[in-house]
Amino acid sequence: MNEAEPRTLRARAVRLAIALAVMPLFGGWIASAQDPDIQDLTNLSVEDLAQVRLSTASRHLTDPRKAPAPVTTIGADEIRKHGWLTLAELLRSVPGFYTASDRTYTYLGVRGFLQSGDYNARILLLIDGHRLNDNIYDSALIGTEFPLDISQIDHVEIMRGPGSSLFGTDAELAVVNVFSKRPDTKNTVQLASEARSETGRVFEAGLSFRFGDLDGLASGSIFRSNGATKLYFPEFDSPVSNNGIAQNIDGDRYDHAFGMFRRGQLRVEGLFGIRHKIVPTASYGTIFNDPANFDVDRRGYVDAKYSHQFAKDTDFDLRFYYDAYRYMGSFPYQTENGGRTVQINDAASDGIGFESVLSKRLGRNRVVAGASGEYNLRLQQRNYYVGQQPFLDDHRTMNTLAGFGETELNPYRWLSLNLGGRVDWYSIYGTALSPRVALMVLPTAHTSVKYIFGHAFRAPDPYDEFYVDQLDITATNTQLKPESVNSHTILVEHTVNSSLRFTASAFQNDLNRIIEEQQDVVTGQTHFANLKGDQGRGLEFELNAKSRSGWSARPSYVFTRAISQDTRQSTLNSPAQIAKLNGIAPLGQYSSLGLELLYAGSQNNFANQRISSSFLTNATVSTPILRRGWEFSASCYNLFDRRWATPTGPEVSQPATVQDGRGFRFRISYRRSVEKQWR
């Protein structure tokens, strides 16, 4: 580090301190009132939050005390006050969740399980109930690659535990359902601009409209960042590889577009996102410090949903959709004669599908039944060197059908029994059965005790099955079988009073026939295979405290012991302890402080090397939407500039990927009603 860099850091810290100090003054001289049209879960008491009905755990709105799974709900106001930049940062605040990044993609760990390089295929990600995992890699994209602006999120429901009984494949460890914001009651426009560290800049524009019985919204954004100017990798410290310094090789950018309209019981929405990331880690043995090392992800869909209430106790939902995903990866390699060649990996999928759900209440009981189907028009993967014919060119289609049902029985006011199951049929893999049983005892109006058993699965995706291993690119890996998980959870939830709620759980997850990348001991090449499995047990505790004056705190602690059934040793990328605190404190009448403390214990990487624990502090000062429509916020991430790293997979040379140091964000948004002009 040269002498100027400490001075630069100190200057940045001084500017941030000044911004944090004067932020409350903005709200003081611009008299304010928060817009009543925006849903504000943060202002609800703990007791009121306990009554907010959930839909993800049961495919219908249900009393949280009877939800057959532990569920955390995070609203737009909490997102804004914590200054989270990505969905990954939001999920990292949930009990038992942790993240890792290889500076290309962000990976999510749940209760001790995180498999490097599986692109979050054990997590089911939804937007407004629409499946976002693609059909090539089953990837749940949660970093800057997530295609919806976080400012367009109304709330997120995070269900921990198996969800295949209602949602099918990938819902092994958790289901994350992101609900987009609804149109305002008035015609409005909104503009926002952000400045971030590493010359990051964001511009967002949104429009909400209402004409008679038709309403809707549209939004778009662009993000550009040069990334870290210099990243040092000791594994490449030699003159031929720029002395281990990746210089200006960390750029990141995305473009998002989202729109929806509603008329009566019909809702149509569409989404498109493209993310381009330059890779600084020289993964897969590529040339170090080469800007031709990058990944591009494109994701989009159109979803039409019709909802109808046939009677007071009968609801019906029907949706049709079109899905598309595109990937391109560029990998520069050095040839045997000292030259350079670039390998291109690309993939494409297109699919159409439907889903129908019928929910009927029978007295105090409820029955849910549904069916879904999908036809993949195209599943394509190609590998080729620029200027040459593809050495892998796989084209195929696949059909899926599923039927599912759930019964909620309430024989007594203090007892509820939930029985559910789903059968999935794949034209390639055959059938999979996913049952779930939950028993809820409600001894008082403020307490629930639950036992939950669930079985979930993940079918091999085309990348596992037909990318085929590098041992023989002419054969199909027909030996792969779906992996599965059996989960047992005992959950106690108790609302002490209107300001305090306590949750405790004990869980056991048994992963069987896990699909994992293996290396051939003779050739050194890799392929996918089913291993014996992993087993995880643990305890989870969470407090949710709120006061009428605006103070809130959400501390949690999770202890996990996850072991491999093959080696009987701790699984990889599995911290034994995770502790966190999310708090919000009012700073006068017109601003608030969001504080986040995150601790993750040490963990082993793929080479069984121990990676140190991490402790991060993030802080955000923000105002509500003020009377003239302005809103301001300033954030500092990794406030104390702690050095930390997360484990990586065998695709990179580094045992752990160093993460960002102290970072900043300043955001200004403006919201204006155009009701009079449009009439």
Task: For residue 240, give the CATH number of its domain.
Answer: 2.40.170.20
Cβ–Cβ under 8 Å, residues 611 and 605 = yes
| Percentage of the residues of the chain whose pLDDT score is greater than 70 | 88
For the cut 80, the answer to whether the pLDDT of residue 675 exceeds it is no
- What value does the mean pLDDT take over residues 527-553? 91
Which pLDDT belongs to residue 589?
85
- What value does the mean pLDDT take over residues 152-169? 94
Element holding 543 (H helix, E strand): strand 533-546
- What value does the mean pLDDT take over residues 648-657? 86
- What value does the mean pLDDT take over residues 553-564? 95
Per-residue H/E/C for 435-491: EEEEEEEEEECCEEEEEEEEEEEECCCHHHHCCCCCCCCCCCCCCCCCEEEEEEEEE
Higher per-residue pLDDT: 310 or 189: 189
**How remote is the C-alpha of 409 from its chain's centroid?**
32
Q: How far apart are CA 393 and CA 384, in angstroms?
A: 9
Q: What is the pLDDT of residues 171-186, one digit of tens each?
A: 999 999 999 999 988 8
Q: How confident is the model at residue 528 (pLDDT cuts 50, 70, 90)?
A: confident
Q: How confident is the model at residue 34 (pLDDT cuts 50, 70, 90)?
A: very low
For the cut 80, the answer to whether the pLDDT of residue 39 exceeds it is no
Which pLDDT belongs to residue 14?
36
Q: How far apart are CA 43 and CA 498, in angstroms?
A: 12
- What value does the mean pLDDT take over residues 75-81? 95
Per-residue H/E/C for 225-243: ECCCCEEECHHHCCHHHHH
Q: Of the given ranges (61-65, 372-376, 518-522), which has the lowest mean pLDDT? A: 518-522
Which pLDDT belongs to residue 469?
46
The total number of structural domains in the chain stands at 1
Cβ–Cβ under 8 Å, residues 344 and 306 = no
Of residues 127, 106, 131, 103, the one with CA closest to residue 118: 106
Cβ–Cβ under 8 Å, residues 329 and 342 = no
- What value does the mean pLDDT take over residues 241-248? 93
For the cut 60, the answer to whether the pLDDT of residue 492 exceeds it is yes
Q: Note the pTM of the prediction, 2 decimals.
A: 0.90
Q: Of the given ranges (38-42, 157-161, 195-199, 500-504), which has the lowest mean pLDDT? A: 38-42
| DSSP designation for 655 | S
Q: Of the given ranges (326-330, 472-476, 536-540, 645-649), which has the lowest mean pLDDT? A: 472-476
Cβ–Cβ under 8 Å, residues 221 and 203 = yes
Q: State residue 224 phi and psi, 5-degree precision.
A: -135, 135
For the cut 70, the answer to whether the pLDDT of residue 470 exceeds it is no
- What value does the mean pLDDT take over residues 550-574? 91
Cβ–Cβ under 8 Å, residues 417 and 455 = no
Say whether 151 sits in a helix, a strand or coil.
helix
Of residues 378, 281, 380, 295, the one with CA closest to residue 343: 295
For the cut 80, the answer to whether the pLDDT of residue 169 exceeds it is yes
Q: How confident is the model at residue 524 (pLDDT cuts 50, 70, 90)?
A: low
What mean pLDDT is reported for the chain? 88
Residue 484 structural domain = 4-678
Q: How confident is the model at residue 565 (pLDDT cuts 50, 70, 90)?
A: confident
| DSSP designation for 589 | S
Q: How far apart are CA 62 and CA 52, in angstroms?
A: 9
Which pLDDT belongs to residue 41?
52
- What value does the mean pLDDT take over residues 347-376? 95
For the cut 90, the answer to whether the pLDDT of residue 215 exceeds it is yes
Which pLDDT belongs to residue 522?
64
Q: How far apart are CA 100 and CA 552, in angstroms?
A: 27
Q: How confident is the model at residue 608 (pLDDT cuts 50, 70, 90)?
A: confident
